[in-house]
């Protein structure tokens, strides 16, 4: 179990840790019914914080940020000399947490995506973990919620008996959700982006050899070019350039950000 603490990557404080440490810390918070907001962050997530100082504040006030993408794991080595054996990838982290939750009878709540995806996800999880306690599933509204609606969502989760919430709204909405709900829910929230669709078999996953070489972005770009070309063809080169500047000591990236004014209330 490895955890070297938080490390600054372009001003975003990423936790240098492995799966075992992430699962242990999240599970312990679930057993203690303690607030613990987590996000699995790849290049896109880092760059959202770089470009938006309010979002940087949100990310850096989460309890745990895992290195979801290989380029984020590589940056930990380049900038801080921390060499991890693997990234902590959202879908894999979800499955490892489900395995632990089944063993320890921890109730889970899944928020986000569509009813169709959630139904397929339930089938997948129940086949893999027959004794897993799924306390509730709720699809996204795909819009902003009122304060009253947000309170009702939090109430449904609290009343479900869940001790751990997974959020699958996509970047950066899932990070906002985790930040804004962490005060409403006295339990861990784990933002895992597109993991629901991947685990439900609705979103194709890059072959393992592409994932290991940091080429998952190319696979996703090839699969959804119209939706993702800006993210990968613009943000990835900028990320690499800025990491190079930080590595050379030419630019220092502050981690303070700017406290958000009001709530975005994504749902």
The dihedral formed by the CA atoms of 127, 177, 115 and 113, expressed in degrees to the nearest 10: -80
Phi first, then psi: give them for residue 7, nearest 5 degrees: -125, 140
- Could you tell me the pLDDT band of residue 208, with boundaries at 50, 70 and 90? confident
Give the SS3 label for residue 109: strand
Structural domains for the chain? 3-199 (3.40.50)
pLDDT tens-place string over residues 84-96: 999 999 999 999 9
Cα distance between residue 112 and residue 254, in whole Å: 32
Percentage of the chain surpassing pLDDT 90?
80
Cα distance between residue 6 and residue 151, in whole Å: 32
Cα distance between residue 36 and residue 189, in whole Å: 6
Residue pair 57/180 in contact (Cβ under 8 Å)? The answer is no
220-225 long-range Cβ contacts below 8 angstroms, 24+ apart: none
Which residues, in sequence order, are CB contacts of 46 under 8 Å at separation 6+? 9, 10, 12, 14, 72, 239
- Side-chain half-sphere exposure of 80, counting CA atoms within 13 A: 20
Q: Write the CA distances from 48 to 32, 86, 193, 242, 254, integer angstroms.
A: 32, 23, 14, 14, 15
Per-residue three-class SS string for 256-267 = CCCCCCCCCCEC
Tokens, residue 257: 């950000």
- Could you tell me the pLDDT band of residue 233, with boundaries at 50, 70 and 90? confident
Give the SS3 label for residue 207: coil
Cα distance between residue 131 and residue 149, in whole Å: 32
Q: Write the CA distances from 126 to 40, 196, 225, integer angstroms.
A: 23, 14, 33
Tokens, residue 115: 């009813």
pLDDT tens-place string over residues 105-143: 999 999 999 999 999 999 999 999 999 999 999 999 989
Cα distance between residue 184 and residue 264, in whole Å: 15
pLDDT at 200: 86
Query: How is residue 11 annotated by DSSP?
Result: T
Model confidence, pTM = 0.92
- Could you tell me the pLDDT band of residue 11, with boundaries at 50, 70 and 90? very high
Tokens, residue 206: 């890059």
pLDDT at 66: 98
- Could you tell me the pLDDT band of residue 33, with boundaries at 50, 70 and 90? very high
> How many other C-beta atoms lie within 10 A of the C-beta of residue 158?
14
């Amino acid at each position: 179990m490895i955890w070297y603490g938080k490390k600054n990557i372009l001003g975003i404080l990423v936790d240098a840790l492995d799966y075992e440490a992430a699962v242990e810390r999240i599970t312990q918070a679930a057993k203690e019914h303690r607030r613990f907001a987590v996000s699995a962050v790849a290049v896109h997530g880092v760059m959202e914080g770089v470009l938006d100082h309010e979002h940087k504040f949100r990310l850096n006030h989460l309890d745990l940020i895992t290195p979801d993408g290989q380029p984020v794991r590589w940056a930990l080595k380049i900038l801080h000399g921390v060499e991890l054996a693997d990234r902590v990838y959202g879908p894999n982290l979800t499955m490892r947490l489900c395995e632990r939750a089944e063993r320890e009878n921890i109730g889970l709540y899944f928020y986000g995506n569509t009813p169709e995806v959630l139904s397929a996800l339930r089938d997948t999880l129940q086949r893999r973990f027959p004794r897993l306690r799924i306390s509730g599933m709720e699809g996204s509204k795909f819009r902003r919620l009122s304060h009253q609606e947000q309170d009702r969502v939090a109430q449904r989760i609290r009343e479900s008996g869940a001790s751990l919430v997974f959020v699958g709204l996509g970047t950066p909405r899932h990070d906002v959700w985790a930040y804004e709900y962490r005060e409403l829910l006295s339990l861990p929230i784990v933002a895992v982006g597109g993991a629901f669709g991947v685990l439900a078999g609705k979103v194709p996953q890059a072959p393992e050899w592409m994932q290991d070489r940091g080429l998952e972005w190319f696979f996703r770009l090839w699969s959804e070019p119209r939706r993702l070309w800006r993210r990968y063809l613009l943000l990835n080169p900028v990320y690499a350039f800025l990491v190079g500047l930080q590595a050379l000591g030419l630019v220092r990236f502050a981690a303070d950000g700017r406290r958000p004014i009001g709530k975005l209330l994504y749902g």
